[in-house]
Structures are given as C-alpha cells and as structure tokens.
C-alpha cells in the first residue's frame, strides 16, 4: 500500500472536479440463475484473509497522511437521526465543504478538498441541496422505507421518485431481505430493476443489510443479483443493524464486484457503512479495496464510506501528524 504520497495528495486535491460518475453506468443484464447458484463463499478462508490484513498493510507518516486525505474525499458524510433538523444538516454540509481545518491542509501542502457526498433522509434533501449548491458535492438520500424496507412497494418506488425530484443525485435503497433469505432471486432482481428505473439519472446504491442475510454465500449472491439488476453501487448496511460493515463481508462483496466486472466489463461501486469510526478502520478498508480491485476503485465514483464519526478521528490523526500532539474530539465537530 506504499503509493507515493504526492500522487495520493494530488488525487485528493482534484476530487472536487470529479463528476459524480466518470465511467459508463452499469446497465445490468438478464438474471443468470446458473451464475447466481454457482456462487460460493469459503467462510474460513475469507476470515483468515481479512484477519491478516491489518498487520500486512500498515502505513506510516507521510504515507498515512496521504491515505487519510484520500479517505476524506470518499466519505458520504451522514446524518440519519430522528431529531435531524435543517440547521443540523446545513452545519453538516459546511463540514462536507471544508472537512479539514485550513491550517492543517496548508501544513500538509494541500489545497481544498471535500467529502464524497452528504447523505440524509428525504425530508432533509432540500436544505442539503441548497447548502451544497455550486460545490459539486452530491446529496444522497436513503429511500424505499429505510431502514427495514417493509413499506408497501408502490410507496417505496414513489419515495425514490420524490427524492430525485427534490434534488437527490444518489439514492440509497434497501432491498427486501426476505427475498435473499428465501432464495427468491427473481423477486430480488425484479425489485432492484424497478428501483433502478425509478432513479432515472440519479445513481442507485443497493443496501444489502448484510448483518441480516445469514451467510456470506447469501451476501455474495445478493450482491451479484443487485448488480445484474443495474445497481451502480452495492452497500453493506443501513447502519441500523446489530452487525454492520465488516472486513469479511467487504471481501465477499468486493470479489463479487471484481467477478462482475471481469465477466461484463461494467464497473460497480462499493460502500461499506456502519461501524467504521476510526482512521485505522478506514485504512484497512482502503488496503483491502486496493489489493482486490486496484487503484481505479479509489475514487468517489466507485468507493464511498458511509460514516458520521469517521471524519473527526481522521482529522485528529492529521493534526497529530502535523503537530505531534493529539487533540480532543471537540476540536473537530461535525457541525
């Protein structure tokens, strides 16, 4: 993972000019049940591979700072609380526009950077869009009866349309977990296909809620079916499950993306979400992604962190890199 820090810093600085999607969207394909049923997952091998990752892929000093700056540009800065207000969302958007203090960026030789997106509930789209106007930062909205996905299907489809109409450029949908648990892959495919159609030009992230799918094989198969149905991203979790993003689940989903790309030529993005709260966590996920998919996936159009507290810890680590001292968390508020 010893990529030149100057290269990473340059790509982080240039992140603001990246379009939402700089590659052709995944158009999907017909459901291939032979491919789906042939997918397996060796749990013990997957766990061994990911358990060894932190010790094998550590980065220090300038390299670590460069990777952490890159990580910031890949964050979907998120607030999904029942007590969200327009004021809170506006403050979060201000943090997305300037995620790191200017003095730290100057000391690191960096120009302005921003996060990958801001993610909110439907009711908060309007203040988020207004606060981010002209910045190039997209607004993502959770949808389709988030987090359980159990509201009537027509309402879930209409919710997508309303969020797109309100200005959301990205829609994070939740799948019906029962389709996975009962092996009804046709139903999952049809559902995802209709969600994709309802999104129109907005790109769609399919939340699998992996902590509720039972097995890694189910995770792999659900990932594949959602990509066949046209998902632009596959995402681990809502952040509301008891188990959210993990490295073993991420390895399974990333390899599904790799297999899909190798067979179809279409790139699909990946978003781990929930429980990723430290700079060390972020570095582990970036190392895994780089190992399995290469540097092309280290861009906001193909990788995002779904996180609310991660940014604060990254900023603390960057301040330590610059000053040699750790600061208190309150020095890096989210808004």
pLDDT at residue number 16: 42
Please give the model's pTM, rounded to 2 decimal places.
0.93
Distance between CA atoms of residues 50 and 19, nearest Å = 32
Q: CB 309: neighbour CB atoms within 10 A?
A: 14
Instruction: Tell the residue number behind the tokens 């399919």, with chain if given.
Output: 206
Name residues whose C-beta falls within 8 Å of residue 40's C-beta, 6 or more positions apart in sequence: 217, 220
Low-confidence ranges of the chain (pLDDT < 70): 1-22, 57, 329-335
CATH architecture observed for domain 5-324: Alpha-Beta Barrel (3.20)
Would you name the residues annotated as active-site residues?
A: 172, 235, 271
Rg (CA), the chain: 19
pLDDT at residue number 334: 65
pLDDT at residue number 265: 97
**Token pair recorded at residue 174:** 């939740």
Task: Please write the tens of the pLDDT for every residue from 12-53.
Answer: 554 444 445 568 999 999 999 999 999 999 999 999 999 998
pLDDT at residue number 261: 98
Ordered by start, the domain boundaries in the chain are 5-324
pLDDT at residue number 230: 98
pLDDT at residue number 10: 53
DSSP string, 73-134: TTEEEE---TT--HHHHHHHHHHHHS-S-HHHHHHTT------SEEEE-GGGHHHHHHHHTT
């Amino acid at each position: 993972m010893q990529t030149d820090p100057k290269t990473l810093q340059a790509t982080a600085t240039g992140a603001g000019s990246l379009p939402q999607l700089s590659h052709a969207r995944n158009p999907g394909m017909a459901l291939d049940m032979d491919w789906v049923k042939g997918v397996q997952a060796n749990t013990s091998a997957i766990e061994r591979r990911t358990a060894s990752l932190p010790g094998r892929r550590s980065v220090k000093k300038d390299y670590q700072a460069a990777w952490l700056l890159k990580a910031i540009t890949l964050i979907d800065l998120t607030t999904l609380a029942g007590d969200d207000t327009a004021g809170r969302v506006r403050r979060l958007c201000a943090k997305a526009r300037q995620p790191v203090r200017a003095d730290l960026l100057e000391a690191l030789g960096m120009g302005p950077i921003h996060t990958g997106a801001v993610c909110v509930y439907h009711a908060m789209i309007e203040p988020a869009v207004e606060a981010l106007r002209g910045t190039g930062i997209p607004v993502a909205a959770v949808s389709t009866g988030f987090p359980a996905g159990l509201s009537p299907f027509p309402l879930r489809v209409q919710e997508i349309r309303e969020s797109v109409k309100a200005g959301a450029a990205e829609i994070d949908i939740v799948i019906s977990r029962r389709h996975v648990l009962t092996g009804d892959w046709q139903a999952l495919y049809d559902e995802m296909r209709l969600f994709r159609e309802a999104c129109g030009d907005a790109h769609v992230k399919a939340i699998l809620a992996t902590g509720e799918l039972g097995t890694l094989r189910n995770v792999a198969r659900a990932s594949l079916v959602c990509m066949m149905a046209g998902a632009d991203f596959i995402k681990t979790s809502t952040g509301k499950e008891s188990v959210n993003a993990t490295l073993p689940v991420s390895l399974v989903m990333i390899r599904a993306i790799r297999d899909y790309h190798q067979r179809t030529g279409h790139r699909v993005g990946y978003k781990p979400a929930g429980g990723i709260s430290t700079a060390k966590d972020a570095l582990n996920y970036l190392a895994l992604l780089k190992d399995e998919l290469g540097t092309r996936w280290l861009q906001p159009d193909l990788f995002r962190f779904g996180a609310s507290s991660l940014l604060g810890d990254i900023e603390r680590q960057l301040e330590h890199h610059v000053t040699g001292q750790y600061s208190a968390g309150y020095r890096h508020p989210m808004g």
